[in-house]
């Protein structure tokens, strides 16, 4: 009987090999044609590029720009609603390729490796900038952005959009997590000032935990977003992931201290919502808006939702603050921006779009529409002078912008998505006590070293 | 081949030709549409990642295969997947048989019931994953609210590996069992009634009838379900990705999520493809064994 | 007699319980789709929407939903039709005209279902892009055919294999060719099996997400699953609109199953492959 199995298996394998043999010639053809098209494309591209450069005022009438964006994101909705303004001014038509956020990276990887230029502009989530730039998939933009503009953007914003000192994306959005807290509960608990240090934060969380409301949430779902908050904890403890000389520094006493502090709040103080270990930012804003938690660290996007009584039960009972400091006052800065695909055939038209979308005026409008921090000083001025915003809005936007002073780029390494993925195991494993802090960090350091070698 | 022609009767020759004419169109289409990309994927698996990144193939032999096979995350994912496959398929068959046999009785309203049991098939795994994440949510989720009402301590589903598995398996059972029910029902419909009647006259009780008369006749049906479900369960992706993302702490990482991460977040295209071919080999071997096992028992 | 009645009531009761469990997640999705945003996240959850709102449905229907559903229907219809047209003869051929030579071919066919699709995304993406079919319905149809085809061949080979040889021999004596027997004799008596296989193929392409996501770009080809996934953003998940779309998404599949159900029952009660 065993012989029979073997025989049939051999038959199957031979058949597959035969089939494979037949197929191979056609694959070669396909790959062959890819190369051809690619070379043609680049040739055509440099030609058109040079003619456009020499022309005084380029005429883009009839040019179609394809922009790959996150579906459903409020900042993209803003650009979509206003793009007709750009289209009528330039004669360029814009087509949006909308991709769910969870799948954007996967799709952009495919687009990039196809080098077909099917997408001209990528809506870049910051961790991807170094990654794509290091592989030559993004067009350097440093020469295109004027010095005046460079000075106007926050340093943290441009820094976070750069790789090896070169700019690869112009940010339309820069943010760092801040703390949202319940003013009414603070008053009840007799806390007059928002905690400035970890210790004060811990004390406050303990005091605020009562009557079914928890002090805070520490996200630990095994996913990318909670890792961004972990980076903040590391930074505040004086730790890091990769140092300036590109050494992996995950397994450090500082990072261990950060984890021990988080574990203490979670398991000893019990001031952290117990489900936290399975949460990401969406759970965080839901819990906060339902009034189940007194302080949460989250992204500025939550502000517009939390103050909307249609969605929030705490719309008039909260305020925002800069994250408390540990050994250091520090967080990671994150941007969303537009970058040009290096295989785009419409780079100059794409730059026209970016200039329009990231102009001081447009970014101010975006900030006002979504109550978001803005990445340009001049935009912030417009926002603070805007009469449609309340004092509360303005103060809050100011806090979000001030928070950026302490923010740094965490994603300079082109393998950041891999690092983020590894750290998601570490975070979730340690916080669910499947591994000890020491084991978890040692494993992470080993895995990251292997992955980025 | 031409030398042998003489020994084959003209009728047999005609038969064969008829057979090829039936099979050929589908095989040609498969060859063109699927085996070309499959070959491409295979080429990626024996090259370094430059094959994809810069479109320049560089043969590295079986290096990717070895590095995957010695990767502890791959082995863990393999273990998790096996655990998942065995658990879910066993439960699917138990529930599937109970429901199919109940439906087979043709009680009042059985048409409506049939329709109801087919409903989960119409829900895409992506949608169902999101739906179950919503149901299992620990504060605003209805499952925990109902458990609370019943006075049961509701677990925080996604904070432990064990309860995360419960959530994944429940969601998967909901999604996959209807297929088992439906095909079993079609199989039951094809049974010879004479045999059942004969058994009834012989005075065999229900359980005896089930194990000695119905089950052996259903063998081909069971086999097809087993192999289809085995291959699907082995490749589970959407549900795990949406419900747990492979967590907590990698405790629910399965083969497909492992491959996905290798390819799309690590740019290790070669290793991802190699892992996929290893998975394919495992599934091939398993379904082959199923086939063997089923035909041997006869 | 009365014992039979008791048994029947018991069976009915059990089936009713299973039905409730089966329908519950969908009912809950329906309830969610009618809630306002703030009510949706109430802790503990409210059992009924008050006030009920149709705003999510309104939002969905005035959005891209009509385009998505059109694409889903077209892709599913054509990929299923082509797969059935190719798959039925092939399954019959493998089942009844199989030789030692066709066995390995069948093994290779079934291998299609054993590759994790994740690994096939990049090859398909690059090839479809190179033949300029990306973001077209045709590109998706082509991609889905192998998956549906193997499912159909696989399931039907088994069913056809159960048909007693005498049936075909009688037909052969009447002078029918292999194709003639298939079309005139075998198919009419295998309606339910073909139906089940067709339904499985339908559901595959109706529910497929991974390829749909990577092979389409705009609403000219994006299908409903891609549309639904778009409600999960990095900022928030739009549960209301997503639930509403989820409910609307089921309707065509439900109608089809409903129509098909009668046929299935007929096929079953007639003793589908009794010979």
- The complex scores an ipTM of 0.86
CA angle A82, A86, A87 (to 5 degrees): 105
DSSP 8-state class, residue A194: -
B214 to A82, B98, B184: CA distances (angstroms): 67, 13, 11
Please give the structure tokens belonging to residue A272.
């952290």
- Tell me whether residue C274 is in a domain: no
Predicted pLDDT at C267: 46
What mean pLDDT do residues C130-152 have? Answer: 94
Claim to verify: residue C130 and residue C41 sit in the same structural domain = no
pLDDT value, residue B254: 96
C132 and C216 assigned to the same domain: yes
- On the 0-12 / 13-18 / 19+ scale of CB atoms within 10 A, A301 is buried
End-to-end CA distance of chain B: 34
Q: Do A100 and C232 touch (CB under 8 A)?
A: yes
Q: What is the pLDDT of residue A16?
A: 40
Give the integer Cα–Cα distance in Å for A397 and A390. 11
Indicate the pLDDT class of residue B7, thresholds 50, 70 and 90. Answer: low
The DSSP-derived string for B1-52 is -GGGGGGS-HHHHHHHHHHHHHHHHHHHHHIIIIIHHHHHHHHHHTB-THHH
C-alpha–C-alpha distance, residues A264 and B75, integer Å: 33
**What are the tokens at C249?**
């998404």
Pair C101, C156 in one domain = yes
**C151 pLDDT above the threshold of 70:** yes
Q: Give the 3-state secondary structure of residue B181.
A: helix
Stretch 53-112 of chain C: residues touching chain B, C-beta under 8 Å: 86-87, 89-90, 92-94, 96-99, 102, 105, 107-112
| Residues C38, A289: C-beta atoms closer than 8 Å | yes
Is pLDDT at B216 greater than 50 in this prediction?
yes
Q: What are the Cα distances from residue A417, in Å, to A29, A130, B282?
A: 34, 10, 30
The pLDDT confidence band at residue B138, using thresholds 50, 70 and 90, is confident
Q: For position A9, what pLDDT does the model report?
A: 40
Same domain, C115 and C244: yes
Phi, psi values for residue A408, rounded to 5°? -130, 160
Q: Give the fold, CATH level 3, of B63-296.
A: MetI-like fold (1.10.3720)
Q: What is the mean pLDDT of residues C214-227?
A: 92
What percentage of chain B has pLDDT greater than the value 70?
92
Compute, in degrees rounded to 10, the torsion defined by CA atoms A358, A364, A368, A370.
Answer: 20
Buried b (16+ CB within 10 A) or exposed e, B207-236: eebeeebbeebbebbbbbbbbbbbbbbbbb
Q: Pinpoint the residues of chain B covered by CATH 1.10.3720.10.
A: 63-296
Cα–Cα distance for residue pair B196/C168, rounded to 1 Å: 26
Contact partners, residue A338, CB within 8 Å, separation at least 6: A67, A121, A122, A123, A124, A169, A170, A172, A353, A354, A357, A358
Q: Which chain B residue has the Cα nearest residue A16?
A: B35
The whole-angstrom separation of Cα C122 and Cα A111 is 10
Residue B196's pLDDT is 64
Residues 6 or more apart whose Cβ sits within 8 Å of residue A368? A383, A386, A388, A389
Which among C241, C205, C239, C202 has a CA at the least distance from the CA of C225?
Answer: C205
In chain A, residues 155-194 whose CB comes closer than 8 Å to chain B: none
Range of the domain at C28: 1-53
Question: From the CA atom positions of chain A, what is the Rg in Å?
Answer: 25
* Tens-place pLDDT, residues C41-81: 888 888 888 888 999 999 999 989 999 999 999 999 999 99
Window from A183-192, C159-168, C260-269 with minimum mean pLDDT: C260-269
φ/ψ of residue C110, rounded to 5: -70, -25
Per-residue tokens: A113: 């490796």
Q: pLDDT-based confidence at B273, cuts 50/70/90?
A: very high
pLDDT for the residue numbered B200: 63
Distance between CA C57 and CA C61 in Å, rounded? Answer: 6
Q: Smallest Cα–Cα separation from B225: which of C143, C155, A172, C95?
A: C155
All chains having 3 or more CB pairs closer than 8 angstroms to chain A: B, C
B247 and A424: CB-CB below 8 Å? yes
Is there a domain that residue C145 lies in? yes
Residues C9 and C82 in one domain: no
Res. C266: pLDDT tops 90:
no
CATH superfamily membership of A57-175+334-406: Periplasmic binding protein-like II (3.40.190.10)
pLDDT in the model for residue C257: 75
Interface test with C, best of A71, A76, A93, A226 (most C CBs within 10 A): A71
Q: Is the pLDDT of residue B52 over 90?
A: no
Q: Considering its fold, how many domains does chain C have in total?
A: 2
A242 touches chain B (CB under 8 A): no
Query: How many C-beta atoms lie closer than 10 Å to residue A93's C-beta?
Result: 16
Is the pLDDT at B83 greater than 90? The verdict is: yes
In terms of C-beta density within 10 A (0-12 exposed, 13-18 middle, 19 or more buried), how is residue A322 classed?
Answer: buried
3-state secondary structure (DSSP) of residue A175: strand
Is the domain spanning A178-333+409-452 CATH 3.20.20.70? The answer is no
Q: Is the Cβ of C269 closer than 8 Å to some Cβ of chain B?
A: yes
From B250, which residue of chain A is nearest by alpha-carbon distance?
Answer: A425
Beta carbons within 10 angstroms of residue A85's beta carbon = 11
Pairwise CB contact (< 8 Å): B223 & C158:
yes
Residues B139-148 have pLDDT tens digits of 888 999 999 8
Q: What is the mean pLDDT of chain B?
A: 86
Q: Which of C38, C42, C231 sits opposite A311 (nearest CB)?
A: C38
Above 90 in pLDDT, residue C275? no
Which parts of chain A have pLDDT scores under 70? Answer: 1-58
Contact A281, A298 (CB under 8 A): yes
Nearest to A396 by CA among A333, A302, A310: A302
Query: Do A9 and B245 count as a contact with CB atoms less than 8 A apart?
Result: no
Residues C105 and C109: their CA atoms lie apart, in Å, by 6
Best B126, B222, B235, B284 member to test C by mutation, with max C CBs in 10 Å, is B126
pLDDT in the model for residue A42: 41
Q: What is the pLDDT of residue A284?
A: 94
Q: What pLDDT is stored for residue A31 in this prediction?
A: 37
**Chain A residues touching residue B286 (CB < 8 angstroms):** none
Which candidate from A34, A223, A275 shows the least CB-CB separation from B245? A223
C220 touches chain B (CB under 8 A): no
Which of C36, C85, C101, C116 is best to mutate for the B interface (most B CBs within 10 A)? Answer: C116
Averaged pLDDT, C81-85: 96
Contact check, Cβ <8 Å, B25/C155: no
Residue with tokens 């030789």: C99
Percent with pLDDT over 70 in chain C: 94
Q: How many residues does chain C have?
A: 275
A19 with B137: Cβ contact below 8 A: no
B275-B278-B280-B284 Cα dihedral, nearest 10 degrees: -170
Q: Which residues of A touch C125 (CB under 8 A)?
A: 110, 114
Q: How many residues are given for chain A?
A: 453
Residue pair A308/A289 in contact (Cβ under 8 Å)? The answer is: no
Q: Does A429 touch chain B (CB under 8 A)?
A: yes
Q: Give the domain CATH number at C215.
A: 1.10.3720.10
Interval B178-191 mean pLDDT: 82
Domain contains C275: no
**Do strands A178-182 and A293-298 pair parallel, antiparallel, or not at all (unpaired)?**
antiparallel
Out of A154-158, A445-449, B200-204, B229-233, least confident range = B200-204
CA neighbor of A160 nearest in space, from A204, A185, A130, A137: A130
Return the biggest CA–CA distance within chain A: 85
Q: Which chain C residue is nearest to residue B32, measuring alpha carbons?
A: C146
**Annotated domain spans of chain A:** 57-175+334-406, 178-333+409-452
Cβ proximity of A283 and C237 under 8 Å: no
Separation of alpha carbons C27 and C246, rounded Å: 11
């Amino acid at each position: 009987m065993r012989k029979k199995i073997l025989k049939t298996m051999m038959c199957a394998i031979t058949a597959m090999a035969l089939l494979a043999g037949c197929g191979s010639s056609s694959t070669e053809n396909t790959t062959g044609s890819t190369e051809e098209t690619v070379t043609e494309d680049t040739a055509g591209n440099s030609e058109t590029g040079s003619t456009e450069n020499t022309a005084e005022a380029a005429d883009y009438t009839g040019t179609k720009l394809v922009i790959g964006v996150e579906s459903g994101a409020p900042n993209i909705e803003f650009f979509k609603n206003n793009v007709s303004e750009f289209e009528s001014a330039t004669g360029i038509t814009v087509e949006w390729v909308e991709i769910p956020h969870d799948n954007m990276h996967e799709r952009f990887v495919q687009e990039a490796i196809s080098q077909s230029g099917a997408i001209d502009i990528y809506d870049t989530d910051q961790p991807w900038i170094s990654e794509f730039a290091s592989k030559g998939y993004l067009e350097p933009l440093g020469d295109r952005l004027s010095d005046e503009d460079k000075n106007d953007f926050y340093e943290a914003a441009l820094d976070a959009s750069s790789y090896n000192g070169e700019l690869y994306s112009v940010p339309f959005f820069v943010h760092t997590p801040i703390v949202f807290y319940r003013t009414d509960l603070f008053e009840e608990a007799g806390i007059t000032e928002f905690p400035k240090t970890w210790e004060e934060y811990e004390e406050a969380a303990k005091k605020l935990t009562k009557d079914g409301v928890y002090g805070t949430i520490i996200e630990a779902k095994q996913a990318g977003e909670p890792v961004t908050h972990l980076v903040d904890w590391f930074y505040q403890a004086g730790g890091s992931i990769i140092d300036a000389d590109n050494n992996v520094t995950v397994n450090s006493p500082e990072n261990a201290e950060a984890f021990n502090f988080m574990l203490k709040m979670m398991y000893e103080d019990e001031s952290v919502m117990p489900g936290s270990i399975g949460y990401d930012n969406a759970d965080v804003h839901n819990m906060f808006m339902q009034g189940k938690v007194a302080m949460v660290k989250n992204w500025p996007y939550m502000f517009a939702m939390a103050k909307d009584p249609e969605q929030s039960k705490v719309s008039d009972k909260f305020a925002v603050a800069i994250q408390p400091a540990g050994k250091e006052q520090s967080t990671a800065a994150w941007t969303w921006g537009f970058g040009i695909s290096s295989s785009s055939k419409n780079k100059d038209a794409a730059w026209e779009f970016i200039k329009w979308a990231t102009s001081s005026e447009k970014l101010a409008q975006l900030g006002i529409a979504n109550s978001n921090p803005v990445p340009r000083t001049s935009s912030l001025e417009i926002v603070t002078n805007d009469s449609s915003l309340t004092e509360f809005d303005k103060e809050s936007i100011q806090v979000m912008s001030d928070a950026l002073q302490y923010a740094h780029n965490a994603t300079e390494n082109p393998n950041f998505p891999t690092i983020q993925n590894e750290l998601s195991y570490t975070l979730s494993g340690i916080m669910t006590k499947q591994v000890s802090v020491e084991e978890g960090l040692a494993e992470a350091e080993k895995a990251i070293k292997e992955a980025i070698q | 081949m031409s030398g042998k022609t003489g020994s084959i009767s003209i009728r047999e020759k005609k038969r064969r030709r008829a057979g090829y004419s039936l099979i050929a169109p589908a095989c040609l289409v498969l060859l063109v549409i699927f085996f070309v990309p499959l070959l491409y994927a295979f080429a990626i698996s024996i090259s370094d990642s430059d094959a994809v990144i810069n479109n320049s193939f560089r043969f590295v032999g079986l290096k990717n295969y070895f590095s995957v096979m010695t990767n502890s995350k791959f082995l863990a994912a393999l273990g998790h997947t096996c655990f998942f496959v065995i658990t879910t398929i066993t439960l699917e068959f138990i529930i599937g048989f109970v429901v199919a046999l109940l439906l087979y009785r043709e009680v009042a309203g059985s048409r409506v019931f049939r329709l109801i049991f087919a409903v989960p098939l119409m829900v895409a795994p992506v949608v169902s994953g999101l739906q179950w994440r919503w149901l299992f949510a620990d504060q605003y989720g209805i499952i925990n609210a109902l458990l609370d009402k019943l006075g049961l301590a509701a677990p925080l589903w996604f904070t432990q590996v064990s309860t995360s598995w419960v959530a994944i398996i429940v969601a998967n059972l909901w999604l996959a069992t209807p297929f088992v029910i439906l095909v079993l029902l079609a199989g039951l419909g094809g049974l010879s009634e004479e045999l059942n009647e004969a058994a009834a006259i012989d005075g065999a009780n229900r359980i005896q009838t089930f194990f000695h008369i119905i089950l052996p006749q259903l063998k081909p049906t069971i086999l097809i379900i087993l192999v289809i479900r085995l291959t699907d369960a082995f490749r589970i992706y959407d549900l795990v990705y949406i419900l747990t993302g492979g967590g907590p702490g990698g405790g629910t990482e399965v083969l497909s999520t492992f491959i996905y991460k290798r390819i799309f977040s690590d740019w290790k295209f070669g290793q991802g493809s190699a892992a996929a071919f290893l998975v394919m080999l495992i599934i091939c071997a398993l379904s082959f064994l199923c086939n063997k096992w089923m035909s041997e028992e006869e | 007699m009365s014992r039979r009645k008791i048994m029947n009531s018991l069976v009915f009761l059990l089936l009713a319980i299973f039905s409730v469990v089966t329908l519950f997640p969908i009912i809950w999705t329906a309830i969610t789709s009618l809630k306002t945003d703030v009510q949706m996240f109430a802790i503990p959850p409210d059992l009924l929407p008050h006030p009920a709102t149709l705003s999510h449905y309104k939002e969905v229907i005035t959005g891209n939903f009509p385009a998505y559903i059109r694409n889903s229907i077209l892709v599913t219809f054509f990929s299923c039709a082509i797969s059935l047209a190719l798959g039925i003869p092939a399954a019959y051929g493998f089942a009844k005209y199989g030789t030692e030579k066709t066995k390995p071919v069948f093994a290779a066919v079934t291998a299609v279902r054993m590759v994790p699709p994740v690994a096939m995304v990049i090859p398909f993406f690059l090839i479809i892009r190179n033949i300029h079919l990306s973001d077209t319905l045709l590109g998706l149809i082509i991609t889905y055919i192998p998956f549906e085809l193997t499912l159909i061949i696989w399931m039907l080979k088994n069913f056809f294999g159960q048909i007693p040889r005498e049936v075909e021999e009688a037909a052969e004596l009447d002078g029918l060719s292999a194709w003639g027997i298939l079309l005139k004799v075998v198919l009419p008596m295998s309606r339910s099996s073909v139906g089940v296989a067709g339904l499985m193929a339908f559901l595959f392409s109706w529910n497929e997400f991974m390829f749909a996501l990577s092979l389409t770009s705009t609403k000219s080809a994006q299908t409903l699953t891609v549309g639904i996934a778009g409600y999960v953003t990095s900022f928030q998940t739009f549960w209301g609109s997503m639930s509403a779309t989820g409910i609307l998404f089921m309707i065509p599949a439900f109608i089809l199953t409903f129509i098909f159900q009668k046929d299935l029952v007929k096929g079953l009660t007639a003793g589908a492959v009794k010979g």
